[in-house]
Chains A and B, each alone.
Chain A
Amino acid sequence: MVQYKINANPKIYETAGKSQRILTETEQDEDCRDDFDSQEIFDLIRNINDPEHPLTLEQLNVTQCNHIAVDDSANYIRVEFTPTIPHCSMATLIGLCIRVRLLRSLPERFKIDIRVREGTHQSENAVNKQLNDKERVAAALENKHLLEVVNQCLATAA
């Protein structure tokens, strides 16, 4: 059976391929605390695979460092992502992958908002509501098939 892709020919962006962070002297000093910042969060999600293509979210420009806001002291993180096309039906799945990756990789003290970037998706509000509803996320992850798909997308991210 032929599987039709929602976006068969996405635009591929050039990426650095690895973290842009450079190890500074303060990061090697035990006495200095390194606060969470947007680059650290971006490094966690940049290599998540797209559900449709063997490409990362960074290569498809779905996630960008400057679309992440972090307030370490207020325990708040907001991640905005950009679907490749406005009618992308994979947007919820991509958001779910980001959510699971951050749940597994960040301390529990953070409140994490994951949102579709404003004006980049037809069903922006519905997707945002779904992604930030704890119960719906938990329910989705009880679906073994869905969890398997999420795990496949996250396999490259570690």
Chain B
Amino acid sequence: MDSGLIDTYLAALENSSDRSGQEQALQAILDSIHQGDNSLLTLVQGLEKPLTSERNEWRAKGIKLLATVIRRLDDAHIAPPAVKFLTNFFRERLADTPCVPWLVEGLTNLSHTAGFRQGDFAGSVVESLLEEIHIQSFQQPTRLAILHLLQYLLTEYLPTLQRQLPSLPALFIQAMDSEKDPRNLMVCFDLFPRIVRHFDVTGHADDLFEVVFCYFPITFKPPPGDALGVTAEDLKAALRHCIAATPAFGPYAIEPLLSKLTSSSGSAKIDALQTLAECASVFTPADWQPHMAELASLIREEIYQTTDDALRAQCLSTLATLFARVTQDKAPTAALTEDPHEFVKPLIDDLVAQVADAQWVKAIATGKILSCIAATSLYNCIMIVRPVLPLFLTSNGNSDSDPISMDTERAHIEILGDILDASRVAFSSPEVSQYPDLQSFWKTYEVDLYHRLSASVPFFQRSPQSQDVLLTCSTLLAAVSVPTAFDATDKRGAYLTLREVYLAADGKATRDYLLNLLHQLAQRFPEVILDATVEPLRQHLPDVYDAGRIHPQLHLELALVAKLGAVPQLARPYLEILLPVIQATPGQTTPLPPPEACFRYTDAVLQTVGELLDALTGPEDRAWVAETVIPTLLIIAVAPTFRGDAIRLAELSTLDTLVPISAFGQDAQADQIAHSLASALAGLTPEQQTPLFASAFRLFMYGDTTPYQSLLPAQDPATTLELPFNPINQASATALEALSADHRLIFDRLQPYQRQTCRFWAALGATLHAAVPWPESDPAAIMKLLLTTALADESGSYGDSLALLIASWVNKAAPASLTLVEQDLLPVITHACTDSTRSQVGRLVALTIYLALTKAVVLLAGGGLQSQLVDQLLGWLRDPVLAPRVAVGLGHIVRDHPFALTRAAHARVKLLYRQKFFVQCLPGLVQGYRTAAASSSNSTGLASTQNHQQHRYYLLALSHMVQYIPKPVLMAELSSLMPLLLSSLELPHVESCVSTINTLYTVALDASDLMAEYIGSVVKALLRLTSARKSSSTATTVSAESSSEPPLNPMQVRTAALKCLAILPECLEYSIIHPYRKEVIKALAGPLDDRKRAVRQEAVVCRNKWFGASSSGAL
């Protein structure tokens, strides 16, 4: 090679800042090789002078050039002979210390070439690297580069290395010795187990173990702001893999690990326990056995003494793993006859002694240890159950309620529960079926155990601590859940016992706990539960219903059905029972039951139906829902508005009682059905949705009931009156003209109810996939028609329903639909909102549609159209008629609707739409508030009152929005928001007030500096809200019960205010809160005597935090 090119490059290297010069010189060399003028070999020849130089830096520069050129060349220009030559060339020079960093780079670059893969160089390269280089004498980057090269070669050329370099383990010991950098150690800890597993370590096991165990326990703490990303946990886990890399470490590892168990550091103990657990399956039982007694004793003492839950859990887990290992070769049947294993026996003896001495805390801990061991294998389980279970099968203290007996019973049941839960795990092993003897193991204990637990239930029902009976219930569940134990009759008996306790339980938390136990039972034995529940449910529900009264336990029964029905196998049979129950409308009974009873009954049943529907998620279940449940629910809800007993309907005086009962005329029930329909439809595919919605469309649009005729309840045709269904006024005119005068009168009375059923149509329409087509060819025309119909009606729910339908379509059909909104719909709605000749109700209906459309557009982050809509809404905050609804509506735009215009309802929802909307609204709200507040203070009389009202609407809008706004946006705008938030605390609306208080809570946590600025106003405002009565000055001295006035601040507000006040001493420096401390402590004396306990509890916490805020405290 032309020495000029090389000289130019070397000269450029002299000037380290001349990067472009170096690059140009290098490129010239590469070009000459690419063009075939030179090759790598001629380059080496050209480098003779620098490479043979006496000066270290010249030789290093020469090697650097070679390494860089190899990296930049592709395989075509690095011929196999050149690879062989260069590999040997680099290897032979590894003793030249100044050149080592570049030699390693050169070898690394060569190792990635095709020529290297074809050759047989890996062994010689690794050998040279480990023998020629004294790795510890280099800086960290070079050491890391060598380790990375080793890592690469070990991954790619393992068989070659095994063949060529059997002495690699010994060589690696030297390479790794004394390494301290965490980055390098991570690579070493990766290499170590691979070398140990794939190479013969005979003769080196002790050295290898020592070189790695010297790092145990890891106490590394990354420096603050560490960008390397190596954590102590990474190092600990990697080191653990190294120690557990080979059984050959067994004789060396166990004792040192045992000594670490007595360490004073909790984390070292946990680390040692985790390492022991990881080693358990690697080291042989023979390695473990000499140490098991000491290990068990050390870990057991740790369990007794520690207060750290994580350490206790790790102790139990490690001990169980070790016991499983040392007994792994034992046949399960051996435990049926053998005495307890030598390692288990001391634990059992301990338990017996602790039970005899009534040391219940220790006995329960020992029970937990034994349970953990029992869960590991059938052998261990039987070995422990045989001596332990009989200890607790004799009941104690059933005759009186002596607290000592209660303690005894509690401990007995808890230990039994743990042992039985462990037995359930052990006997779930498929191994059980291989041993016929085990099938009858539990027969010995079944009768006594069942009686023992059954007797404990009534015993604990006398206990003042309601959790005692729950303990027995969960133990009973554990008992019947043990595979091979107890037959279906006992399981059914357990279900009935749990159900009985559930029905008798007081308090939601207890009932929820029991419901969860019953749910677990249903999950484990669905057939048994189905058998035990279906028939009683079928018989029980109609009885309650026909009687026209509510059974006191109906709600509890239905909640149980809903919880059990969360198991998919049970949901469908339950629904098959409940749907006809809803359909058996009370319109057929004589006399009519009280409406209130019917409403409460159907409320409960409908809620259960909704929950059962949520459990049906399988494809077959979904198909059944599409074919049967949705049409049935829909027609159940709609039919009473157009079909019924002729005589009854003719009595116009009873019609207004009958139809709401039958057609779920109360909002809560209709919403429940709408919600059930929506959630059921949302889970279907577009193909399943299309025919369903087409039928529903024809039903509501044109009154076509044909597809639903087969689902209508059977009634005598002679006495049944069927009228047209015409909620949208689009049914055939001939059908209406054919009605007699009497029937016409009935129809006119029914039509408002028919319109109310449009909410079910809206529920279906709002949850369609965007791909589902509307049945008409011109949906735009339908939307215009729906809008006109909605604006013509002044009953609230009708407008709401049609608004949802229109808005959902607009959202899903965008962008084409946005043009329709802008050009056709918006002018009409805006006019209807502002038209002073319309009634107030009519204007508010129009506003509802406007708000729904705005939401549809905001979800799409709809640019100019969104700005137009939002500006208009902010402008209407000055309109006395529209402002209250606008203020609430702005909050509804950012809040998720229960079933429409959400992602779950397949709406198009852009990311960050809330942020954009809030940022768009905020300036208008702040400015509007300031203007209105200024006008209020400048004006007098009526004008002042109006302005005062007006500025409250801005605050109301803000407080309704603020709770749904993501925290980062809120924090960015806080400085301008705080004065408004504080003012909004004076609003009388509970929801807005709680929302604002919760926002202040977040501010205190995340922006304490800003909170410090407003601390005086915040404390004053919150203290005012903690009082139940009007006069805050008397709150501290007068008992709450002496006041007959209704409370000014509801419980939710008082509790929220106290919680917020309590967080202040934690978030702010003492110097900031000190001026208010006495005032707060004095004022909180009032809430300490609040009429509600929940408020008092918060007041106690809050007041004590303010007391504790000082270093000394005072009364």
Which residues on A are within 8 Å of B, measured CB to CB? 12-14, 16, 20, 22-24, 27-28, 30, 33-34, 40, 43-44, 54, 65-66, 100, 103-109, 138, 141, 144, 147-148, 150-151, 154-155, 157-158
Question: Shortest distance in angstroms between A9's beta carbon and chain B's nearest beta carbon?
Answer: 12
Note all chain B residues with C-beta closer than 8 A to A108: 1085
Instruction: Choose the segment among B505-513, B643-651, B940-948 that binds chain A (4+ C-beta atoms closer than 8 Å).
Output: B505-513
Note all chain A residues with C-beta closer than 8 A to B1108: 151, 154-155, 158
The residue of chain A having its C-beta at the shortest distance from the C-beta of B1099 within the complex is: A105
Does B1103 lie within 8 Å of A105, measured CB to CB?
yes
Note all chain B residues with C-beta closer than 8 A to A54: 307
Does B1092 lie within 8 Å of A158, measured CB to CB?
no
Does A107 lie within 8 Å of B1088, measured CB to CB?
yes
Does A14 lie within 8 Å of B1104, measured CB to CB?
no
Among A13, A43, A141, point to the contact of B1115 (Cβ < 8 A): A141
Among B510, B1089, B1103, point to the contact of A22 (Cβ < 8 A): B510
Does B1115 lie within 8 Å of A104, measured CB to CB?
yes
**Known interface pairs A20-B466, A23-B508; A106-B1113 also in contact (CB < 8 Å):** no
Does A23 lie within 8 Å of B1104, measured CB to CB?
no
Note all chain B residues with C-beta closer than 8 A to A103: 1115
A110 to B498 CA separation, bound complex (whole angstroms) = 42
A33 to B1089 CA separation, bound complex (whole angstroms) = 11
Among B360, B364, B1114, point to the contact of A141 (Cβ < 8 A): B1114
Note all chain A residues with C-beta closer than 8 A to B1100: 44, 104-105, 158
17 contacts between A and B (CB under 8 A): A20-B467, A22-B507, A24-B507, A33-B1092, A40-B1096, A66-B464, A100-B1115, A105-B1104, A107-B1085, A107-B1088, A108-B1085, A109-B1089, A138-B1115, A151-B1108, A151-B1113, A158-B1100, A158-B1104
**Known interface pairs A13-B361, A104-B1107; A33-B1115 also in contact (CB < 8 Å):** no
Q: Is B93 an interface residue (CB 8 A)?
A: no
Which residues on B are within 8 Å of A, measured CB to CB? 307, 360-361, 364, 407, 410-411, 464-467, 506-510, 1039-1041, 1047, 1050-1051, 1085, 1088-1089, 1091-1094, 1096-1097, 1100-1101, 1103-1105, 1107-1108, 1112-1115
The residue of chain A having its C-beta at the shortest distance from the C-beta of B1107 within the complex is: A104
A105 to B1104 CA separation, bound complex (whole angstroms) = 7
Question: What are the nearest 10 A-B pairs in CB distance?
Answer: A22-B507, A107-B1089, A34-B1093, A158-B1104, A105-B1100, A33-B1091, A151-B1113, A107-B1088, A22-B509, A20-B465
**Known interface pairs A22-B507, A23-B508, A24-B507; A148-B1089 also in contact (CB < 8 Å):** no
Does B1115 lie within 8 Å of A158, measured CB to CB?
no
A12 to B1107 CA separation, bound complex (whole angstroms) = 30
A28 to B1050 CA separation, bound complex (whole angstroms) = 11
Question: Shortest distance in angstroms between B111's beta carbon and chain A's nearest beta carbon?
Answer: 59
A147 to B510 CA separation, bound complex (whole angstroms) = 40
Does A144 lie within 8 Å of B1112, measured CB to CB?
yes
Question: Shortest distance in angstroms between B66's beta carbon and chain A's nearest beta carbon?
Answer: 68
A144 to B466 CA separation, bound complex (whole angstroms) = 42
Note all chain B residues with C-beta closer than 8 A to A33: 1040-1041, 1091-1092
Note all chain B residues with C-beta closer than 8 A to A23: 507-509, 1094
A141 to B24 CA separation, bound complex (whole angstroms) = 84
Note all chain B residues with C-beta closer than 8 A to A148: 1112
Question: Shortest distance in angstroms between B360's beta carbon and chain A's nearest beta carbon?
Answer: 6
**Known interface pairs A14-B364, A23-B509, A109-B1039; A104-B466 also in contact (CB < 8 Å):** no
**Known interface pairs A16-B467, A30-B1050; A40-B1093 also in contact (CB < 8 Å):** yes
Among A65, A138, A141, A158, point to the contact of B1101 (Cβ < 8 A): A158
Task: Give 16 A-B pairs besides A33-B1091, A40-B1096, A107-B1085 with Cβ atoms closer than 8 angstroms.
Answer: A14-B364, A14-B410, A16-B467, A24-B506, A27-B1092, A33-B1092, A34-B1091, A34-B1096, A43-B1097, A44-B1100, A103-B1115, A105-B1100, A107-B1089, A109-B1039, A141-B1115, A154-B1108
Among B410, B1047, B1103, point to the contact of A104 (Cβ < 8 A): B1103
Note all chain A residues with C-beta closer than 8 A to B1097: 43
Does B1104 lie within 8 Å of A157, measured CB to CB?
yes
The residue of chain B having its C-beta at the shortest distance from the C-beta of A103 within the complex is: B1115
Does B1091 lie within 8 Å of A106, measured CB to CB?
no
Note all chain B residues with C-beta closer than 8 A to A155: 1108
The residue of chain A having its C-beta at the shortest distance from the C-beta of B360 within the complex is: A14
Question: Shortest distance in angstroms between B376's beta carbon and chain A's nearest beta carbon?
Answer: 26
Note all chain A residues with C-beta closer than 8 A to B510: 22
The residue of chain B having its C-beta at the shortest distance from the C-beta of A12 within the complex is: B361
A40 to B1092 CA separation, bound complex (whole angstroms) = 12
**Known interface pairs A33-B1041, A44-B1100; A16-B407 also in contact (CB < 8 Å):** no
Note all chain B residues with C-beta closer than 8 A to A14: 360-361, 364, 407, 410-411
**Known interface pairs A141-B1115, A148-B1112; A27-B1104 also in contact (CB < 8 Å):** no
Note all chain B residues with C-beta closer than 8 A to A22: 466, 506-510
Among A13, A65, A104, point to the contact of B1104 (Cβ < 8 A): A104
Question: Shortest distance in angstroms between A15's beta carbon and chain B's nearest beta carbon?
Answer: 10
A66 to B510 CA separation, bound complex (whole angstroms) = 22
A27 to B1094 CA separation, bound complex (whole angstroms) = 8
A30 to B1091 CA separation, bound complex (whole angstroms) = 8
Note all chain B residues with C-beta closer than 8 A to A154: 1104, 1108
Note all chain B residues with C-beta closer than 8 A to A150: 1113
The residue of chain A having its C-beta at the shortest distance from the C-beta of B1092 within the complex is: A34
The residue of chain B having its C-beta at the shortest distance from the C-beta of A155 within the complex is: B1108
Question: Shortest distance in angstroms between B464's beta carbon and chain A's nearest beta carbon?
Answer: 7
